[in-house]
Amino acid sequence: MAFNIGSGLEGKSVVITGGSGGIGREVCLAFAAAGSRVVVVDLDQDRVTAVAAEMEGGPHLAIAHDLRPVAGHPALIAKVTAAFGRLDVLVSTAAVLIRRPSISTSPKRTGISSTRSTSRRRSFSAKRRHER
């Protein structure tokens, strides 16, 4: 017997915020593949339209919407219910993701201009010990 992870999601109305981002886009494609009707929400109309065009099945909806003003949320939900009659699932992946290494080893941050300089490496190690 085949196991279908999307079983039960057919025809569901699903809103995915941050839908044109890295995770959001994949979630959109997965729900669409499972037979859901997907509403892609993100900041840029061209990007949400592009994700909607990639999705299987449908009908789907692509809405450019800035989620920061909370007062605008009812209008967004109203668009969804006007198009699909109801909202079954909300996936919130909208975010501002700041990617940076957990430990910086760049010369600029450490003050080391050459890794060949033993004395400077020693002072770096001492500085690190002092900071701990």
Ligand X SMILES: NC(=O)c1ccc[n+]([C@@H]2O[C@H](COP(=O)([O-])OP(=O)(O)OC[C@H]3O[C@@H](n4cnc5c(N)ncnc54)[C@H](O)[C@@H]3O)[C@@H](O)[C@H]2O)c1
Return the residue of 13, 14, 16, 24 that touches ligand X, per CB under 6 A. 24
Contact flag: residue 39 with ligand X (CB under 6 A) = no
Radius of gyration of the chain (CA): 23
Alpha-carbon dihedral 41, 45, 51, 54, rounded to 10 degrees = 140
# chain residues binding ligand X, by CB under 6 A? 17
Does 51 engage in binding with ligand X (CB under 6 A)? no
Q: Edge-to-edge strands of the sheet including 13-17?
A: 61-64, 37-42, 13-17, 89-92
Question: Which of 2, 53 has the CB closer to ligand X?
Answer: 53
Site string for ligand X, 93-132 (x = CB under 6 A): xxxxx-----------------------------------
Rounded to whole angstroms, the Cα distance separating 45 from 20 reads: 10
Query: How far is Cα 28 from Cα 70, in angstroms, rounded to an integer?
Result: 23
- 33 is a site residue for ligand X (CB under 6 A): no
Binding residues for ligand X, rule: CB under 6 A, are 17-18, 20-24, 42-43, 66-68, 93-97
